[in-house]
Structure 1
Amino acid sequence: MRTTTILELAVCTVTDKPAAEEARRSAMAAVRTYAGFVSWRALTALEQGDMIADLVEWADKASADAAAAKVQVDPAFAPYMSAISGVTLMQHFETQDTI
């Protein structure tokens, strides 16, 4: 049986990577309670010192959209949002195949 989920990829720049990563851990703890949340992989660029990325998996697009609205008002996300100086990419992808 094939299960389709939504992957949200956010690639961002930060001015203080250690502070951003600490704030991200708090945000990750909060999002675990969001409806439709599946997983969150926190990524840190090796070649570009000010770049981080988040790969968040949602059960469906409606859950991803609801979460996008919720993080704007969730106090647990405020420090992480403040730590981000720029967004290079923010996109949702439907899973196709996994090996």
Structure 2
Amino acid sequence: MPLIIQQVQKRMLISLSQIAKKLSIQEGDYIALEERDGGIFIKPVAWHDKSQEYFWSDSWQEKMKQSADALKEGRYKTFSNVDDLLEFLGEEKNADDNSN
């Protein structure tokens, strides 16, 4: 049975919470509204590529924040060449074997 809601103002509908809950739509999410067949259809949409979903996870965003803070505070090191970087990381210089 369709959910009946009341339009209270221009361009504003209320009581979509039951539908939003069913579709796992949360505040701030994007939705597509499509008018067809005499009705309006609501569909959740992602505004970023699903292959990049990890980037938007809480844990990854925390890492991004830590990195940005470190940059702001000057907690980084620069290298004039790759060999110096590899030495700093404890890797062999001129390591051309990519078979790992």
TM-score range, shorter chain: under 0.3
Q: With the length of structure 1 as denominator, give the TM-score of the two structures.
A: 0.23
- Give the number of the structure whose residues are more often strand, by fraction: 1
Please say which structure displays the higher CA radius of gyration: 2
Name which structure has the greater RCO, CA cutoff 8 Å, separation 6+.
1
TM-score, scaled relative to structure 2: 0.23
